Amino acid sequence: MTRRVAVIGAGFMGSMHASIFSSAPNCELAAIVDPNLELAKEVAARCGGAAIYASHEELLSKEQLDLVSICTPDNLHRAPAEAVASKGVNLFIEKPIASNVEDAKAIIAAVRKSGVKLGVGYLLRFDPRYARAKELIAEGKIGAPIHLYARRNSARTEGPKRYAGKLPLALHVTVHDVDLVLWMLSGQVPLSVYAQQTDRLLGPIGTQDSIAAIVRFSDGTVVNLESAWSLPSGARHMIDARLEMIGTEGSFEVQCGDSGLYFADNARSQEIDTQHWPTMAGRVGGDLRQQLLAVLEWLDGADRPVASGEEALRSLELTLAMIQSAETGEVVRLG
């Protein structure tokens, strides 16, 4: 069965979603939506000539679709999501589900009312290293969790270049690790969070340098989360990421800093992405491709680790509590 898919948002993530869906088996990229029609036209031209529309209203009035992927800025997810759901079309939304709890709950309510499927884009679930670590927990190899440490630091030339001033660092970066932690500590709920953040370097452009948090969970597990957008532009790693768990029976470490591929010429040295969305032979691959191919299988009923709306809401709530603690200097109680 061929699935007809539209992508709303033709920016950094939307263009990659469009590329992947345009080359996926049993999938037709039907349309790309963006108020910047020139940008939408450029993306469509690279992806087989999909139709272009300036708004989700125009899209939904003219196309019969099986799935819509929403890649707009995070604070603009709600309106298209509600409209798509009301038409009985399945939804995939780039993380986080929304920028506030009210919008997230409204999206979930719209999906429940219409009976369509909703998935949220936490692509690290499709990184085989994290996926295998999750299996080690399920197999009992780690025992009862005692402590987790998650780090996700990147150069000031990466995230801030694209997103500064639009949403807090934690909603762009830390929320990835929050989702992983909640996924791995299935059955536990966070009880309290204390966080601190800095804005010495990036404050003038409207974002944070770093954020660090301690979260205590209901079974006693303690989690440390660290994210930064302030590594120097010459830093060895584009993304210096790590996840460690210590349990009563074992431990694991997931190390994601080194992509394994470096390029240098007379002007610069550069680490090249081989993990998240590398482009090879003109095709976007990596975790992102694996995730979107899994979404198409999930639509057909396959069991795939696609984050649900409810899971994305929990990730959002904990991340917002972290931000609240960092802004007030107080411990935030949850649950």
- The residue length of the chain stands at 335
* Mean pLDDT, residues 17-43 taken together: 97
Using alpha carbons, select from 292, 297, 317, 310 the residue that is nearest to residue 13: 292
SS3 7: strand
Residue 147 CA to residue 217 CA, distance in Å, equals: 10
Residue 207 CA to residue 58 CA, distance in Å, equals: 34
Q: Label residue 233 by pLDDT band (50, 70, 90).
A: confident
Q: What is the pLDDT of residues 251-306, one digit of tens each?
A: 999 998 888 888 888 887 778 888 888 888 888 889 999 999 999 999 999 999 99
Cβ count near 270 (within 10 Å): 12
Q: What is the pLDDT of residues 160-215, one digit of tens each?
A: 777 777 789 999 999 999 999 999 999 999 999 999 999 999 999 888 999 999 99
Strand partners for 332 = 193
